Amino acid sequence: KPAFFQVAIDGPASAGKSTIAKILASQLHFVYVDTGAMYRTVTVAAKKAGLSYEDEAGITALLPKITIEFKPGNPVQRVFLNGEEVTEAIRSTEVTNNVSLVSSYAAVRTDMVDKQRAMTESNPVIMDGRDIGTTVLPNAQVKIFLVASVDERAERRYKENKEKGMAVDLETLKKEIEERDYKDSHRAISPLTKAKDAIEVDTTGIGIDDVVAKIKTIIEEHQA
C-alpha cells in the first residue's frame, strides 16, 4: 500500500468529481489533484502554439516545453501554464470539446501520469479523473466511481453555465456530454472504466453534502 493515503475518484463528465474531491481534500487536509485540468491545460497549450488538435506529433513535441502548476484559489484552484494563468481559459467550450482528442494521445497520457504520480510522493492525495483507479494509482487505498444519469449531469452543467453567463441550450450540452463520455470510454489507452475494486456511488438526485458524507465514511473506514 502507498506510504501516503490515496483516494482515487473517477467517473463521467459532471458526475460531481471535482466538487466532492475539493471539499473532502479540505476537510481531510489532503492535496487535491484535478487531472482533468491538466489535460485541459495541454489542450490550451496546443492552441497557443498554433497547433491543430489533430496534430499528435506536434502536440507530442510540445510536451517537454509545458509546465503546469496549481495554486490555491477560491472558489476554484488556479491553474498556470508556463507561469501564465489559464484558470478560465481551460473551461472554454472550445477546450471542453477538444480535450478528449488531445488526451487520447499516448505521449500526452504518459507525461501527465508521470506528473500525477509525482504529486503523491510526499503527501496524502485525492485525485479525480478518468483513469486514476485503473492506471495512475492502482494501489490507492480508496477508489470511488462516481456516476449520475446523463440528464442530471447535463442539467448540472446547464445551471453552472447559466451562472457564468454562458448561453448553451440543455439539449446541446447533453449531446456534448454524451459525445465526450463516448470518446473517453472508447479510446485505446486507459479509457474511462470502473476499476474492479472501486466502489460505485450514484449521485442522481443526491445533494453535494450527502455525497461528501457518504464518501468520507468510506475513507474513514479504510483509514482505521
CA distances from 133 to 9, 15, 71, 166, 184 (A): 7, 16, 24, 33, 15
Site string for ligand CDP, 37-66 (x = CB under 6 A): --xx--------------------------
User: Is residue 208 near ligand CDP by the rule CB under 6 A?
Assistant: yes
13 annotated as ligand-binding? yes
Residue 146 CA to residue 67 CA, distance in Å, equals 29
Number of residues that bind ligand CDP (CB under 6 A): 28
Distance in Å, CB of 224 to ligand CDP, minimum:
26
Q: In what order do the strands lie in the sheet with 199-202?
A: 31-34, 125-129, 6-10, 142-147, 199-202
**Is 87 annotated among the ligand-binding residues?**
no
CA angle in degrees (0–180, nearest 5) for 162-165-166: 75
Residue span binding ligand CDP (CB under 6 A) among the ranges 44-52, 96-104, 118-126, 216-224: 96-104
Helices 93-102 and 170-186 cross at an angle (nearest 10°) of 20
Cell numbers linked to 97: 470539446
Confirm or deny that 36 is annotated as ligand binding. Answer: no
Q: Which stretch binds ligand CDP (CB under 6 A): 50-58, 71-79, 166-174, 205-213?
A: 205-213
Return d(Cα 117, Cα 158) in angstroms, integer.
Answer: 33
By CB under 6 A, is residue 173 in contact with ligand CDP? Answer: no
x/- mask, ligand CDP, residues 1-40, rule CB under 6 A, reads ----------x-xxxxxxx---------------xx--xx
User: Which position has the grid cell 438526485?
Assistant: 205
User: Of 62, 156, 201, 219, which one interacts with ligand CDP (CB under 6 A)?
Assistant: 156
CA distances from 177 to 52, 89, 116, 123 (A): 22, 19, 25, 33
Positions in the binding site for ligand CDP (CB under 6 A): 11, 13-19, 35-36, 39-40, 99-100, 103, 129-132, 156, 160, 180, 184, 203, 206-208, 211
